[in-house]
Copies of this chain bind each other. A is one copy, B any other.
Amino acid sequence: MRFNTTTIKDIAERANVSKSTVSRVINDKAIVNSRTRLAVLDAMKSLGYEPNFFARSLASGLSMTVGVVTQKLGSPFYDMISQGVIQGFAGTGYSPLFVDGQWEESTELEVIRTVLGRKVDGLLLLGGDISEQDLSDLKDRLPTIVVGKEVPGWQDQCVFVDNVGAARNAVKHLLEFGHRNIAMVCGISCHQDAIRRYEGYRLALSEAGIEVDPGLVLEGDFSAQSGIMAVNTLLMRGKPFSAVFCANDMVAYGVRLALQRKGIRVPEDVSIVGFDDQGESAYMCPPLTTVRQPGNEMGEAAAAGLVKLMQGETCRLPVMQGELKYRESVARLI
Contacts and interface: CB of A to CB of B under 8 A. Distances in A.
A97 interface: yes
Nearest to A67: B95
A177 interface: no
A19 to B, nearest CB: 16
> Secondary structure of the A side of the interface?
helix
Contacts of A83: 73-74
A318 interface: no
Copies in the complex: 2
A255 B257 CA distance: 18
B285 A285 contact: yes
B280 A224 contact: yes
Interface stretch (A50-58, A152-160, A306-314): A50-58
Given A257-B287, A283-B253, A52 B119 contact: yes
Interface stretch (A106-114, A167-175, A202-210): A106-114
Contacts of A117: 50-53
* Interface pairs A-B: 3 shortest CB-CB: A253-B283, A50-B117, A73-B83
17 contacts: A2-B137, A3-B116, A51-B117, A52-B58, A53-B117, A54-B55, A54-B119, A58-B58, A70-B86, A73-B83, A90-B100, A95-B97, A96-B97, A224-B280, A227-B283, A228-B283, A260-B285
